[in-house]
Structure 1
Amino acid sequence: MACKTWVVGFILVYFIILIHLSLKTEASQISGRSNSVSFHSRWKRQLPFLSSWFGGSHSTSKPELKRSRYQQQNHYTRKNSRNSYVLSKYDKLPSYHQNQSSNSHENQVAERDPRFLSLFSVIKFGNAECLSASGDNGTCYPQAECHRRGGAANGRCAKGYGTCCVFSKTCGASTNQNCTYFTHNGNNQNSQSGFDGTGSCQLTMYKCAPDVCQLRLEFDSFNIAPPNTNGICQNDQFIVSGSTTAIPIVCGVNTGNHMYVDVGVDNSPVTLSMVTSGPAYSRSWKIKIIQVRCTDLGKSPEGCLQFYRGVSGMIRSYNFDFASGQQLSNQDYTSCIRVERNFCGIRYTACNDNAQFGSLQATAANQRTRSFFLNGQGVSTIGTLVGANSCSTDWITIPCATNTGRTTQAGGTVCQDRICGDVFNSEAGQNPSSVYSYVKPFRIHYHTDSNETNDVGNRGFCLNFIQQPCSSI
């Protein structure tokens, strides 16, 4: 009898509690759904053994947040994109959680709970270019994302919430990361150790996005074996394959130079190859590869292997060097300069040996410089040669070049296009002069033949340019 009385009393107490919670639930519906969820959660915590029997109507409610676990771990959770994160104010650098599905639900509830937001704030940053602690260019990523992509963390970005991720690859690697360094040893920090191996060191580059049209190769350092006496890259060669346009083979010293590579509309890779052979040589290279989108302002015009921007600058042929440079054979490419706003012409002058490259300077007897040497076969005369008849093997082409800034030159002759010899001028003679052109776009075409054996001292060219304002015409 006592047992039955205890059971009946227990049931009465349960229904009293149930009626009390029902009234609370109706009241909470007036103030909002979130209070109802919290009352059901409290009921389940207080009566866990009964909620499984009589709480079927609420069995599909959202699970309770385990806030204490997040307060202890002090980690951020990935929200809805790679550039938006919920970050604990106690964190110094972010790191990924793997369970994104549970995190997504918890983030939604956390944003509704003012107590949760008091510990967390939303940090957003894009994967923009950044400058690493070592001076190399990188991409701003969360630290875990940087390691997942195969990069090396090198400094902070995004106000300390991201890491500047530097990508460096060497022989046999492939990548689709923008701003990748191709090095002889795969280590940007130890570029002094030379590469004395033989064979082919290749890097395969894929597009990072479908709308990439070009690769810009910047030669931060480039020193491989020079050409033979005929100007041919016999022992060492830098070869670009997979481009939609012809890329000349180059060798020697090309530090500070660059080239643009067209990649076409599909995702076919471009392969950069350093072919090394012959005698021992302390080779080294560090080539920064920038992927250029079709809509970028820095995209090179069609047919331009080199592309320069700015009112002034310097153009050099490959393997040009004042002391020991040698002109390469089989060069046939165009260097272009972007026409800046309110400029209508351009002036070229030979680089100053003494001012820009140390103590080397022209001899007083003949005013020859080391910055312009494009002699033809067996030609040893001092001076400037112009025209197709005189310049039939090696030359540069500047559209309608004059030395006065007018179509008709000082001597009464019309403008010239083809220039060669060992003195830079648009008129035949022995004195150097500035050369002007008012033909747009601004371009220089460089051509050498396949035989440099009998050429006398050919080094190629180094020219300074400065654009001329339209008011000076």
Structure 2
Amino acid sequence: MGVMFVVLFMGFLQFCQANKSNSSVNVVPRRIPYVSAITRWKNNVNFNKVRDYQKEARFWPQKESRFLSLFTVVTFPNGGCTGASGDNGTCMTARECSSRGGSANGYCANGFGLCCIFMTSCGSSTSENGTYFVNSGYPSTYDATGSCELTVVKSHPDVCQIRLDLDRFTIAGPERMNHVCNQDQFIVSGGNPVPAICGFNQGGHMYIDAGIGTTNPVKLTFVTSGNSFERLWKVKVTQIPCSTIYKADEGCLQYYTGVSGQLKSFNYDPTSGRQLSNQDYGICIRMERNFCGIQYTACNDPVNNRSRAFTISGNSNNPVNAMIGSGAGPNNCANDWLLVPCAANVGRIQPAQALCTDRICGGTFSADLSMQASSVLSTVKPFRLWFHTDNVEAPVDIDNRGFCINYIQQPCTNNVI
């Protein structure tokens, strides 16, 4: 009986549970599919893998950066650069270089930018810093007559000076009698007065006063005429702001920096160069720190038996002594001269009432009347020379070359100062 009761009781429970399930289906028939779908989604998702992925993303963020780097914008300054050709340019994007009229010449900014070179010729205008002004057909030579002009417009109102680097400069030289540039000329107008030059001047430079404001364009003009001649020029135009430390002192057509260097008059050449007439300009050297004087010595002349590195007046086909001073007379410098303020030969014992020698000319470089060349010392500050020639050479002055002088600044502790 006891066993039969248990069996009957278990059967009754199963019957009740079956009825209970049936009644649930009948009462809420639409909830079963929804609950079943949620249950199946939970059973299929591996939440452990999701948590592992989140941990991995926290510890390995570069996986996301690899994707985002595709949309990163790279910027770089428009600084100076050197192109594949060796020319100086400005680093910029390809679109910017093209829109401003430049040409790409190599990469810069770690390959993100292009070195943009600005090169222009006759009849154009530019405000781009670092523009190269070249002859028509460059790099081929130019053999024609006419006028080739470039107008330089300030890139910014703060620009005070224009520096011209004569990277390539070969035009017809002066006539033989009075050394006047009457066939070809390079003329600078619109700034401070600049003497016209001609001949061979590769490696030289000029500083031009650009004035105040933005309405002061500077014009560079090559005038070619006369006989056939293979001309070639390439002039780099650099705009210098007023606030920069490399701005030249006022009144200096040429400006040199460094403890030592070399100065040359325009068209100087020991073989065939001729001193140009109608020259009048200042040559300045920046006084370096802890230097109180400067010493000048004529350059070596390996071409001629007798040096022509300093031949300013007289017939340089013959030996000519050094001439000094500004008075009239056969040993004075009344027409052509190089002014060295208060010059004295190195090692010379100064007399009690020593007078400062200023102008030096003749065919020997010395601060004394002498046939023996000497190193010349000056302690006048700032370090500045002045070169002057008139428009007459013949019949007294013949075949003068001009000058080539090496300089070296002297420290304040030097015993000669």
TM over 0.5: yes
1:225 aligns with 2:172: yes
Instruction: Specify whether residues 331 and 286 from structure 1 end up closer, same or farther in structure 2 by C-alpha distance, changes over 3 A only.
Output: same
Identity %: 53
C-alpha contact (below 8 Å) 2:132/2:237 kept by paired residues: yes
Instruction: Give 1:439's match in structure 2, choosing from 361, 366, 380.
Output: 380
State the secondary structure of the residue aligned to 1:315: strand
Superposed CA deviations along residues 69-118 of structure 1, whole A, max 9, x for unmatched, are xxxxxxxxxxxxxxxxxxxxxxxxxxxxxxxxxxxxxxxxxxxx979734
> Could you state the TM-score of these two structures normalised by the residue count of structure 2?
0.79
What is the distance in 1 between the residues matched to 2:366 and 2:235?
34
C-alpha contact (below 8 Å) 1:132/1:156 kept by paired residues: yes
Q: How does 1:10-25 map to 2 (within 5 A)?
A: none
Superposition deviation, residue 413 in structure 1? 4.5
Superposition deviation, residue 457 in structure 1? 2.1
| Structure in which a larger fraction of residues adopt helix | 1
Which amino acid in the other structure matches residue 248 of structure 1? Answer: P
Residue 42 of structure 2: aligned partner:
none
Instruction: Give 1:255's match in structure 2, choosing from 196, 199, 202.
Output: 202
Superposition deviation, residue 437 in structure 1? 0.5
Aligned residues: 345
What is the distance in 1 between the residues matched to 2:258 and 2:405?
15
C-alpha contact (below 8 Å) 1:231/1:453 kept by paired residues: no
State the secondary structure of the residue aligned to 1:178: coil
Q: How does 1:442-461 map to 2 (within 5 A)?
A: 442-454=383-395, 455-461=397-403
C-alpha contact (below 8 Å) 1:200/1:274 kept by paired residues: yes
Query: Please, what is the CA RMSD of the aligned residues?
Result: 2.0
What is the distance in 1 between the residues matched to 2:203 and 2:255?
13
C-alpha contact (below 8 Å) 2:316/2:400 kept by paired residues: no
Instruction: Give 2:283's match in structure 1, choosing from 327, 335, 340.
Output: 335
Gaps (5+ residues) in structure 2? Answer: 1-63
Superposed CA deviations along residues 21-56 of structure 1, whole A, max 9, x for unmatched, are xxxxxxxxxxxxxxxxxxxxxxxxxxxxxxxxxxxx
Residue 6 of structure 2: aligned partner:
none
What is the distance in 2 between the residues matched to 1:277 and 1:331?
21
Residue 375 of structure 1: aligned partner:
313
What is the distance in 1 between the residues matched to 2:400 and 2:121?
33
C-alpha contact (below 8 Å) 1:132/1:164 kept by paired residues: yes
State the secondary structure of the residue aligned to 2:261: strand
Superposed CA deviations along residues 151-200 of structure 1, whole A, max 9, x for unmatched, are 0100000000000000001001111000000000364xxx2x21111110
Superposed CA deviations along residues 388-447 of structure 1, whole A, max 9, x for unmatched, are 1211011000011011267x6379843311100111011111000000001110011000
Residue 43 of structure 2: aligned partner:
none
1:235 aligns with 2:183: yes
Which amino acid in the other structure matches residue 212 of structure 1? Answer: V
1:171 aligns with 2:122: yes
Which amino acid in the other structure matches residue 385 of structure 1? Answer: M
> Could you state the TM-score of these two structures normalised by the residue count of structure 1?
0.70
C-alpha contact (below 8 Å) 1:402/1:435 kept by paired residues: yes
What is the distance in 1 between the residues matched to 2:131 and 2:119?
6
1:211 aligns with 2:158: yes
Instruction: Give 2:212's match in structure 1, choosing from 238, 241, 265.
Output: 265
State the secondary structure of the residue aligned to 1:124: coil
What is the distance in 2 between the residues matched to 1:115 and 1:126?
25
What is the distance in 1 between the residues matched to 2:257 and 2:65?
52
What is the distance in 1 between the residues matched to 2:352 and 2:362?
19
What is the distance in 2 between the residues matched to 1:248 and 1:337?
20
What is the distance in 1 between the residues matched to 2:258 and 2:207?
17
C-alpha contact (below 8 Å) 1:380/1:456 kept by paired residues: no
Gaps (5+ residues) in structure 1? Answer: 1-112, 355-359
Residue 21 of structure 2: aligned partner:
none
Instruction: Give 2:298's match in structure 1, choosing from 350, 356, 362.
Output: 350
Bigger Rg over Cα: 2
Superposition deviation, residue 218 in structure 1? 0.3
Residue 239 of structure 2: aligned partner:
291
Which amino acid in the other structure matches residue 403 of structure 1? Answer: N
Residue 469 of structure 1: aligned partner:
411
Which amino acid in the other structure matches residue 221 of structure 2? Answer: S
